Amino acid sequence: MKRIVIVDFNNFWSPSGGGVRRYHLQRMKFYQTREDALLVFAMPDSKTYTEKISDSLIIEHIKTFRFPGHWEYRFIWKQSSIVPVLQKYTPDVIEVGSPYILPAAIAKAAKKLKKKPLLTGFWHADFPVTYVRRYFEKWGVHSFAKVMEKLAFAYARSSFKGYENIQVSSHEVLNRLGENGFEKNRLEWMPLGCDIEMFKPERRDESLTKSLKDGEPNRPTIFFPHRFCDEKGLRLLLAAYPLISQALKMEPAILFAGTGPDLPRVEEAEKKFPHIRYVGFVKSTEAMAHYYASCEIGFALSGWETFGLSILESMASGNCLVAASTGAAGEHIRESGAGVILQEHTPEALSKAALELISNDFLEMRQKARAYAEKFSWDACFDRQLEMYKRVIST
């Protein structure tokens, strides 16, 4: 059987990114030893070169423009960057993971190929809600925010025009796309995965837990490995922390890992509060697994997650969570019963939700979290995705 050739483009890739980076790393791991497929990842980078990992996995590094500031995102958009990659590999499938400009640029480049490839998109970010509506709502112009959201959905529909389907990993987001003009028969539910062998309660580091407890066995331990920005709820958590401490009559231990534009806020909090620690940006998956399992509680405060990989990793490690009421965060907690839903996006509401969680039966919730996460695996995700590719190509 002829092997299937897949070329993957995504301007949401970042060396220090969270969920999108994890998706691509796991995807490359899945394809690295396969005989029935070749995966080529077109990676935005500072220079252009080819990196052959194996006979079934190649990374084409493409020199691209980098956004200024704290962001590490680079932007593929020129035909001179895209066309050579497509002509080199003549793919059966092209997957596009970012919605800005790139889908149309890929579609244009694909027309230059003799063999028509399958074009598929992956809705990694619900940007009309997350980046458009929320931005204008912050300024109090709610009616205008809704108008801009609708325009953003119209732009997305136009961007992915001619694509066979759009893959979506959250039922809530999939339904929202359907409500905003995307043809429902073009929406493909594609739940992502979790490395349940890596992320598990047995990874607990007793010495780390003991250090975090600092002589108080009832001290709650929290791990926050999300991007340091307002979207992920960092500012909300820091604002709620004194309220939680006051109500508990002790400071919870919070372990922060990551980076982002709000890093100075974390560094300031670490200096101010003795039970807040910052361990830097953690590249090692093994280290992340130890940190998760050595804590009891996670916070999933972004209401705009399209799947929430870090949420599943936290749950697989046996953490119960305080979660936003919308998006994948709320979806996971409602389906698992492994946490408390945040009713309002205020420090007072977060303090109340955290106290409700802490007063509950930790053991039962943590068992529910692990049991729920075990339903997901990366192999199941990518097997499902590969079968979808083959099914669509054959029709």
pLDDT tens, residue by residue, 23-42: 999 999 999 999 999 999 99
**What is the pLDDT, as a whole number, of residue 307?**
86
Residue 231 to residues 174, 226, 263: CA-CA distances in angstroms? 21, 10, 13
Pair of tokens at residue 84: 């050579």
* DSSP E strand boundaries for the chain: 4-9, 37-45, 49-54, 57-63, 65-66, 74-75, 93-96, 118-122, 165-168, 187-189, 221-224, 253-256, 276-278, 297-300, 320-323, 339-341
Q: At 392, is the pLDDT very low, low, confident or very high (cuts 50, 70, 90)?
A: very high
Whole-angstrom distance, CA of residue 353 vs CA of residue 120 = 39
**CA pair distance 22, 217, nearest whole angstrom:** 34
Round to whole Å and give the CA distance between 221 and 216: 11
Angle at which helix 327-336 crosses helix 362-373, to 10 degrees, equals 110
Decide if pLDDT at 363 tops 80. Answer: yes
Among 60-74, 78-92, 203-217, the least confident range: 60-74
Q: Please give the model's pTM, rounded to 2 decimal places.
A: 0.82
70 pLDDT tier (thresholds 50, 70, 90) = low
Tokens coding 186: 């073009």
pLDDT above 80 for 71 = no
- Could you tell me the end-to-end alpha-carbon distance of the chain, in angstroms, rounded to an integer? 17
- Give the integer Cα–Cα distance in Å for 340 and 257: 23
Distance CA 178, CA 166 (A): 11
**In angstroms, rounded to a whole number, what is the distance separating the alpha carbons of residues 283 and 130?**
26
Mean pLDDT, the chain, rounded, equals 94
Q: Check: CB of residue 289 under 8 Å from CB of residue 307.
A: no
Return the exposure string of 85-96: e unless at least 16 CB atoms fall within 10 Å of the residue's CB, then b.
Answer: bbeebebbbbbb
Is residue 1 scored above 60 in pLDDT?
no
Parallel, antiparallel, or unpaired for β 276-278 and 74-75?
unpaired
Neighbours of 236 (CB within 10 A): 19
Chain center to CA of 285: 15
pLDDT digits (tens, 9 = 90+) for 165-222: 999 999 999 999 999 999 999 999 999 999 999 999 999 999 999 999 999 999 999 9
* List of domains in the chain: 4-192+377-394 (3.40.50.2000), 201-373 (3.40.50.2000)
Neighbours of 141 (CB within 10 A): 13
Q: 67: pLDDT confidence band, cut at 50, 70 and 90? A: confident
C-alpha to C-alpha distance for 332 and 228, rounded to whole angstroms: 22
Contact 325, 341 (CB under 8 A): yes
- Which residues share a beta bridge with 276? 254
pLDDT of residue 245: 98
User: pLDDT tens digits, residue range 227-283?
Assistant: 999 889 999 999 999 999 999 999 999 999 999 999 999 999 999 999 999 999 998
